Amino acid sequence: MEVHERLRETDPGARARRGELKDRVRQSIDSGVATQTTGELITIQTVVHVVYRTDEENISDEQVTSQIEVLNRDFRATNEDRGAVPEVWQGLIADASIEFELTTEDPEGNSTNGITRTETERESFGTEGNPVKYAEAGGIPSWPTDRYLNMWVCNLEGGLLGYAQFPGMPAETDGVVILHTAFGTTGTAQEPYNLGRTATHEIGHFLNLFHIWGDSDDCSGTDEVPDTPGAQGPNTGRPDFPHVSCNNAPNGDMFVNYMDYSDDAAMFMFTAGQVLRMNATLAAARAELAGLG
């Protein structure tokens, strides 16, 4: 959210574009257009940019593939651990009908495995200025963001697991960035972020989902999704059910939701309302990427 707010302040048209998208998403949901696209399988062409200084940071193809597999399970609600969702929310688990595929064709039409590798002299990357997305800053530029979901994997500084860009922001920096030790399920992935859920969470933002507590610590925030209970703030670790805040008894916070901050082994679901919001966004700001435009 810090990155998002910085972009809103530095990009003159960002606030207007986000406001327009908010209206379009609401209209799409209210009119039923979003419901019409729900259930139609959408495959998003994906490129993973591995930016590394050490051999460890130069993660394997296998680690990249493991992350794509997690995304496809999580967004299709076929993850085996969804059974750990408390019974009161089992009926809200929803299949987003979104899949991710490492692209086989680069922007020039050449064959590719969907993975680029860029050696850098930087020990780590921060968020200000999006340095990992610029060659002159030690990173690599995005592939056309209307054709590909760009994912950068690198060594992030400040204890950050990852960050994403919401739709409606500058095209050249569009995509998600993930710490290499929080990416995929093998290789350098480390507990408690070794089940690939950081990327699931960040792509949720990329598809216009907010944190379930609405980024407020006084119970006044909203994620603009009606079927996720309000919460006072983020949950971490592996909370016990129920964890009550903001007068949300008896079931409490939906800490099993991918848009909370729980450990990878404690988050298992998107709700039907979140799926509807993602579908409405795909039909609007990300229509070309989704093959709907």
The helix (H) or strand (E) run that includes residue 6 is: helix 2-10
Look at the block and give the residue holding tokens 């409606």.
168
Q: How far apart are CA 116 and CA 177, in angstroms?
A: 14
HEC string of 91-108? CCECCCCEEEEECCECCC
Residue in 2, 69, 123, 202 annotated catalytic: 202
**What are the strands, taking DSSP E only, across 155-202?**
162-164, 176-179
User: Is 172 an active-site residue?
Assistant: no
Burial 51-65 (b: 16+ CB within 10 A, else e): bbbeeebbbeeebbb
The answer for residues whose C-beta is within 8 angstroms of residue 151's C-beta and 6 or more apart is 46, 47, 48, 49, 175, 176, 177, 178, 199
d(CA 150, CA 289) in angstroms, rounded, equals 11
Nearest to 177 by CA among 228, 135, 125, 226: 125
The gap between the terminal CA atoms of the chain, to the nearest Å, is: 28
Distances (CA, A) of 119 to 50, 138, 225: 8, 8, 41
Rounded to 5°, the CA angle 219-220-223 comes to 95
- State whether residue 174 is helix, strand or coil: coil
**Which residues have a catalytic role annotated?**
202
